[in-house]
């Protein structure tokens, strides 16, 4: 991931020293597991642990130099570790294992840790949304469908629905974490022919990863589920970002992103305050969806394994977890600094001459005895005149001989329109933040 969108927390999960450190721990635990059953001498396993190299940048460089000869990253790693531990103990490193035993177990370990970070970020984002929804529960605004004024709602209701979706994403992340918190040390084609299941169980217990049946590789539907959770996070964040971008348009101006001292919105136009965070989130969500497509294509491998998935995963797994984590953090920062403008929301609600009450008027006329088609015709006729002539909708209705004026007070009562929003907030209150 390019530095612009990377974070220290995710960098620590996906860095080369972290990756080779995980490989090393898998190797050492496997040696100790073999020692538990008497295959590897106990003193040899102890020497391997004591003399194991530190996984730092220098260690990474030694492996990369060796890989220029082996043209195989795990073989280069094993050669480097064995050389540093030295024989005879070093010869027990990688005993009975194949490359995927080490690489896939370590990769699942990394994905689990990345999922933990994303779950933490989703919880923090959720807390911000819940607080904002409650704060603006009664901040009235116009609801829009197709970009056109529809009926009144509140800004808090809009945010509450976002929070409920983030909670679903958090659950998807939890399920994805469970799906990838697995491991395998079952050998070349997964038959345990050269390594007993007890060693796999020993390593899995130490790493808190569940041993699973596998071919030479862990099935990639698990990785695809992880990528789907990342992509879903991006889509949800984009949902909010697109809405906030629309609400910041000059003609609407119901919210604004925060603007810090010294910030510039345009290199050419000093008046500009652009929705840059929301636009960045929208853009990065496209990358997350593209990575999901590549991950789905990684599921179908030849026979017990090939490596067509490997090159793809080196890019998309770190990048997707980095980006999902980043967009949640970026969106939380946007929301924490968001300027909400209730007076503009009210002004925009009033800008359509009361037409937002057309459905309650329609239903009131039906209740008063009109057929639905007749009531619709009456309301539509007056609504179109109100819009075309810029005249108050209710005033036109009161002057219409076909309208029973006694039904209008209730139809134009804003409190009636918003009286059942508690149903949504009851679900919001049930979330465990």
Concatenated DSSP letters of 91-145: GGTTTT--HHHHHHHHHHHHHHHHHHHHHHHHHHHHHHHHHHHHHTTT-EEEEEE
pTM (two decimals): 0.94
* Percentage with pLDDT > 70 across the chain: 100
Task: Check residue 194 and give its pLDDT.
Answer: 95
Task: Check residue 264 and give its pLDDT.
Answer: 85
Question: What's the chain's Rg over C-alpha atoms?
Answer: 30
For the cut 90, the answer to whether the pLDDT of residue 222 exceeds it is yes
The domain spans of the chain are 107-183+217-348, 349-429
For the cut 90, the answer to whether the pLDDT of residue 262 exceeds it is no
Task: Check residue 129 and give its pLDDT.
Answer: 98
Q: What share of the chain is helix, strand, coil (3-state, %, to 5)?
A: 65, 5, 30
Mean pLDDT of 7-36: 98
- Residue 245 near residue 322 (C-beta atoms within 8 A): no
Task: Check residue 364 and give its pLDDT.
Answer: 95
Task: Check residue 385 and give its pLDDT.
Answer: 97
**Which structure tokens are listed for 142?**
């116009």
Task: Check residue 370 and give its pLDDT.
Answer: 94
pLDDT in tens, 314-343: 999 999 999 999 999 999 999 999 999 999
CATH architecture assignment, domain 349-429: Orthogonal Bundle (1.10)
Residues recognised as catalytic: 146, 266
CATH architecture assignment, domain 107-183+217-348: Up-down Bundle (1.20)
Pick the more confident residue, 94 or 261.
94
Rounded CA-CA distance 181/163 in Å is 27
């Amino acid at each position: 991931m390019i530095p612009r969108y990377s974070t220290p927390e995710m960098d620590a999960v996906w860095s080369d020293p972290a990756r080779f450190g995980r490989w090393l721990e898998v190797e050492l635990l496997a040696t100790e597991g073999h020692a538990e059953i008497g295959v590897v001498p106990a003193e040899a396993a102890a020497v391997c642990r004591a003399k194991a190299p530190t996984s730092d940048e220098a260690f990474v460089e030694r492996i990369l130099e060796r890989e220029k000869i082996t043209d195989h990253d795990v073989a280069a790693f094993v050669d480097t570790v064995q050389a540093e531990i030295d024989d005879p103990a070093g010869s027990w490193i990688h005993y009975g294992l194949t490359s995927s035993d080490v690489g896939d177990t370590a990769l699942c370990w990394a994905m689990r840790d990345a999922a933990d970070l994303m779950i933490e970020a989703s919880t923090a984002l959720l807390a911000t949304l819940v607080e904002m929804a409650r704060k603006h529960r009664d901040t009235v605004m116009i609801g829009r469908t197709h970009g056109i004024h529809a009926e009144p709602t509140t800004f808090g209701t809009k945010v509450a629905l976002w929070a409920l979706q983030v909670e679903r994403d958090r659950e998807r992340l939890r399920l994805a974490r469970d799906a990838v918190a697995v491991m395998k040390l079952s050998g070349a084609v997964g038959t345990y022919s050269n390594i007993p299941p007890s060693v796999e169980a020993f390593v899995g217990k130490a790493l808190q990863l569940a041993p699973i049946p596998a071919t030479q590789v862990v099935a990639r539907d698990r990785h695809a589920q992880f990528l789907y959770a990342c992509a879903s996070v991006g889509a949800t964040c984009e949902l909010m970002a697109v809405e906030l971008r629309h609400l910041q348009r000059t003609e609407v101006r119901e919210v604004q992103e925060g603007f810090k001292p010294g910030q510039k919105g345009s290199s050419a136009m000093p008046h500009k305050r652009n929705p840059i965070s929301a636009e960045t989130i929208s853009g990065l969500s496209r990358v997350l969806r593209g990575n999901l497509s590549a991950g789905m294509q990684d599921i179908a491998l030849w026979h017990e394994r090939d490596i067509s998935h490997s090159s793809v995963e080196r890019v998309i797994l770190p990048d997707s977890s980095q980006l999902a984590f980043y967009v949640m953090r970026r969106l939380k920062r946007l929301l924490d600094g968001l300027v909400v403008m209730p007076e503009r929301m009210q002004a925009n609600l009033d800008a359509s001459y009361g037409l937002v009450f057309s459905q309650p008027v329609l239903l009131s006329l039906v209740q008063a005895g009109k057929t639905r088609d007749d009531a619709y015709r009456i309301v539509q006729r007056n609504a179109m005149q109100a819009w075309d002539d810029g005249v108050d909708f209710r005033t036109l209705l009161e002057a219409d001989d076909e309208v029973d004026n006694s039904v209008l007070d209730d139809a134009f009562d804003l409190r009636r329109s918003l009286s059942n929003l508690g149903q949504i907030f009851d679900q919001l209150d049930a979330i465990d933040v």
